[in-house]
A and B are shown apart, each in its own frame.
Chain A
Amino acid sequence: MYYSQFLSRVCMPHAVLLQPKESWNSSKSNDEIIVGHCTKVPRNSNLEKLRSGYLFPEISRHESEHLQKNPDASLIRLGIGDTTQPIPDTITLAMAEQVRGLSTIQGYRGYGAEQGNMALRKAIAGKFYQDMGIKANEIFVSDGAQCDISRLQMLLGSNVTVAVQDPSFPAYIDSSVVVGQAGELEEETGKYGNIIYMNCGPENDFFPDLSTIPRTDIIFLCSPNNPTGHAASWQQLKQLVEFAEANGSIIVHDSAYAAYIRDGSPRSIFAIPGAKEVAIEISSFSKFAGFTGVRLGWTVVPEELLYSNGFPVIKDFNRIVCTCFNGASNIAQAGGLACLSTDGYHDLCKVIDYYMENAKILVDGFTSLGWKVYGGKNAPYIWVHFPGMSSWNVFAEILKKTNIVTVPGRGFGPAGEEYIRVSAFGQRQNILEAIRRLNSFL
């Protein structure tokens, strides 16, 4: 991913000379001057509240800068959680077949249902929600969880209150700011005024102490967690569902890493009785099938989930999907269907095993160096504690000294400070080399 360097030119010779404001994000724009016609359209004040670029393009940017300074560096990328292993043949064959069909009269497909192909919706229901009472028509196929998070925010609107885990995947907070839910950023704490941050650390087993959490309309929970790797237990999720019931809240449960669970923890919020009345679940083929570039995911909105006036949330979500979206690519959907076939799923589990073997190597590696390591057991992320240190500094040191890209924990929220996230995607030899380099450095 690249961050466009586009403020490099002076425009038309109008008499408007502007000094860029300090608040225009942290990239290299501070010394550029814009000359040109200004429209009279006010900038969206919500976007002004975002202090820097989105986390992962920022990581890319640091990577690029490092490479520019060290062109011969052999970079090992354990930063952005980008899958690296090829997609199994069964699946790409299905996509190629769909593609070839598009050149024929019988196989040509135009617009698909915005909610997704029914065969795929049924397959998702059958594979992941068997016995949980989730029906195909409650499943909405998308081009990925990141997009769904924003569509959910559009659905919910600016007047709802939101709670997120701290640390958490940055899209929940950023999308909340963009939509106008978040309030002002408090510089000292690094927190947005209207968002409730549910601290998750070793002291509470990386699950929020719900007795300390005030009511919010929406609760974002990711399990297995990005970035901490913690998979919530059945008991923990039950507590959460009860908490939501008691408060009349809606849980948005992100289960993008469910396929990585090894210890029998619940793979869906809907494994918990009562969850259908209080939860939405989002998920993705990205980390499950290596579809990070192919783009496919889904969101489950149960029919039982109702707004305070009794209106079903699913009807409004459907309206959003029909108005703001036009369906996931039919090629990706053909791939998705193959992912859920017996052979496809079997092949994908092997890839996941490969990444989890990487994770084990990383966990063992950091542990043997004397660091406290979390995660890596039910998710492809290792959460390493560097007590008393600034995570951006640790990130920079590691990058400089070992040419390994990680992600500073602070990027996931204030409680991520002192931690580094190391992702377990990568070629085995790179993972092993990374451990070797860390041994000499740390």
Chain B
Amino acid sequence: MSLMNNLSTSMISSSSSTFLAPTSFNSRTQSVSVPLKNINIVKCVATPQEQQNAYKTKVSRNANIAKLQAGYLFPEVARRRAAHLLKYPNAQVISLGIGDTTEPIPDVITSAMSKRSHALSTLEGYSGYGAEQGEKALRAALASTFYRNLGIEDDDIFVSDGAKCDISRLQVVFGSSVTMAVQDPSYPAYVDSSVIMGQTGQFQKDVEKYGNIEYMRCTPENGFFPDLSKVARTDIIFFCSPNNPTGAAATREQLTRLVKFAKDNGSIIVYDSAYAMYMSDDNPRSIFEIPGAKEVAIETSSFSKYAGFTGVRLGWTVVPKQLLFSDGFPVAKDFNRIICTCFNGASNIAQAGGLACLSPEGLEAMQEVIGFYKENTKIIVETFNSLGFKVYGGKNAPYVWVHFPGRNSWDVFSEILEKTHIVTTPGSGFGPGGEGFIRVSAFGHRENVLEACRRFEQLYN
């Protein structure tokens, strides 16, 4: 039985961990259920002897959670970063790992949130419980901003505290008896939430896959779009475009094929469009641009990477009325029931911010910040290109997917961290299809990104 090692220590202090400016205070703690090897930051809660005699309840551990192999990916990356800082307390660590936004939120947005905060101290402005589905004005603004002329109505939109939470709520709606397909590599929350819900079998170490999940390989060879002729039918298909981690953006033609595939198979696509505003190419920004998608797809998105709301917490999910279970029951009714039972609405202050984001001024301000991160991405892409690496992504997403053929991605991650004090994310954390790749995220102050590129040049020249 593993010891309660890292839960008792709070390791990261913001002042020592950033370079040039106290940027995003990455206070992600290190509480992961991973057997620690050489990290000497442990503080034991109890000695092995005491633990043997410790009182145990008679409640069985949830076998589904036991299937998870390690901590969630990003706390694991944070843990390694923290351990590195302990080893090199004076290192100027640059974080291009966790996709955490760094630039301040534009004033037009924060002033709306400030106003809402103050209003809560007045009789006229005080509001208690809001609609679990979100404030009407915000739902309307989301519909008209992102789904104009696509036949998506205000009440098809459910405001949330973020896409990650919505993914789990969707899993609760679907239940344990559905089968699911994911891209490989993909954002780890799809697979992990599936395991927790009991949809999967055991982890198979030889192939690094969970039983019962259909992994749709996405590689440079297939343009990071799965060969659907090789994909078995599943109930649910998770698809993220622009993609985290590969940065690939599916074309209209590809998405049309995906919608047809879902239609023919009677499947439901869960389309993650959290990075749609980073799209440079003329690709669809919403799955609902594809005719027929309303009958086969749910779309989830977020203000996190658009408005720097990673800490403020605001997102949304679209469940069209036309989306029906096999018995004809509308999926939106069950999603609504889950929202009303397992959730209590996004913070009213965050929602006020969201509404300001969607004002003309707010949209312009968001485009500016997105443009800034896209410029970062360009710099990183150029650096790796010039060093002779095969580089993917970076055009339609704030992620650069760098190929290190034949190498173990955690090893590359460690090497980069050790030699340049730069945190990246190992590709295998996103699935076996990510092995041999490193994800470099483009969030960061410009000086840090430039300095990071200088260090990459030093390392790889």
> Which residues of A are interface residues toward B (Cβ below 8 A)?
1-4, 6-7, 9, 11-12, 16, 18, 20-21, 24-25, 29, 34, 36-47, 50, 53-54, 56-57, 80, 82-89, 91-93, 95-96, 99-100, 102-115, 117-118, 135-137, 143-144, 146-147, 149-150, 154-160, 171, 174-175, 178-180, 217-218, 244-245, 247-250, 277-278, 290, 292-295, 303-312, 314-316, 318-320, 322-332, 335, 425
| B110 in contact (CB, < 8 A) | yes
Assembly CA distance A6 to B332 (angstroms): 9
| B412 in contact (CB, < 8 A) | no
> B62 to chain A: which residues have CB within 8 Å?
155-157, 159, 316
Assembly CA distance A89 to B118 (angstroms): 8
A44 and B173 contacting across the interface, CB-CB below 8 Å: yes
Binds A, one of B64-72, B208-216, B278-286: B64-72
> A147 to chain B: which residues have CB within 8 Å?
342-344
Which A residue sits closest to B319, measured CB to CB? Answer: A6
B312 and A111 contacting across the interface, CB-CB below 8 Å: no
16 contacts between A and B (CB under 8 A): A11-B321, A34-B328, A38-B325, A43-B329, A47-B338, A96-B114, A99-B110, A110-B311, A115-B31, A143-B313, A250-B57, A290-B120, A318-B32, A319-B71, A323-B189, A330-B313
In the complex with contacts A39-B323, A146-B343, A331-B350, A87-B263 CB distance below 8 A: no
> B375 to chain A: which residues have CB within 8 Å?
none
Assembly CA distance A382 to B312 (angstroms): 36
Which B residue sits closest to A251, measured CB to CB? Answer: B57
Checking A84, A157, A329 against B311 with a beta-carbon cut-off of 8 angstroms, the contacting residue is: A329
User: Smallest CB–CB gap between B263 and chain A, Å?
Assistant: 7
Name the interface residues of B113-167: CB closer than 8 Å to any CB of A: 113-114, 117-118, 120-123, 125-133, 155-156, 161-162, 164-165, 167
> A327 to chain B: which residues have CB within 8 Å?
311, 313
| B102 in contact (CB, < 8 A) | yes
Binds A, one of B16-24, B222-230, B377-385, B419-427: B16-24
A41 and B193 contacting across the interface, CB-CB below 8 Å: no
> B105 to chain A: which residues have CB within 8 Å?
102-103, 108
In the complex with contacts A290-B128, A331-B312, A178-B104 CB distance below 8 A: no
> B113 to chain A: which residues have CB within 8 Å?
99, 102, 331
| B1 in contact (CB, < 8 A) | yes
In the complex with contacts A41-B267, A44-B173, A217-B58, A36-B295 CB distance below 8 A: yes
Assembly CA distance A149 to B173 (angstroms): 16
Checking A12, A143, A319 against B65 with a beta-carbon cut-off of 8 angstroms, the contacting residue is: A319
Assembly CA distance A314 to B350 (angstroms): 29
> Which residues of B are interface residues toward A (Cβ below 8 A)?
1-2, 4, 7-8, 10, 21-29, 31-33, 45, 51, 54-66, 68, 71-72, 74-75, 98, 100-107, 110, 113-114, 117-118, 120-123, 125-133, 155-156, 161-162, 164-165, 167-168, 172-178, 189, 192-193, 196-198, 235-236, 262-263, 265-268, 292, 295-296, 308, 310-313, 321-330, 332-334, 336-338, 340-350, 443, 445
A326 and B263 contacting across the interface, CB-CB below 8 Å: no
A108 and B54 contacting across the interface, CB-CB below 8 Å: no
A6 and B330 contacting across the interface, CB-CB below 8 Å: yes
Assembly CA distance A324 to B188 (angstroms): 11
Best-surrounded residue of A147, A249, A324 (most CB of chain B within 10 A): A324
Assembly CA distance A217 to B62 (angstroms): 12
Checking B56, B75, B127, B192 against A114 with a beta-carbon cut-off of 8 angstroms, the contacting residue is: B75
A294 and B120 contacting across the interface, CB-CB below 8 Å: yes
- For chain A, what secondary structure do more than half of its interface residues adopt (helix, strand, loop), or is it mixed? loop
User: Smallest CB–CB gap between A213 and chain B, Å?
Assistant: 15
A42 and B61 contacting across the interface, CB-CB below 8 Å: no
User: Smallest CB–CB gap between B325 and chain A, Å?
Assistant: 4
User: Smallest CB–CB gap between B431 and chain A, Å?
Assistant: 15
In the complex with contacts A329-B311, A331-B350, A117-B334 CB distance below 8 A: no
A12 and B322 contacting across the interface, CB-CB below 8 Å: yes
B266 and A40 contacting across the interface, CB-CB below 8 Å: yes
> A110 to chain B: which residues have CB within 8 Å?
24-26, 100-102, 308, 310-311, 443
Which B residue sits closest to A92, measured CB to CB? Answer: B121
Closest 4 CB pairs of A and B: A40-B266, A248-B58, A44-B175, A157-B62
In the complex with contacts A34-B328, A54-B340, A303-B45, A292-B58 CB distance below 8 A: no
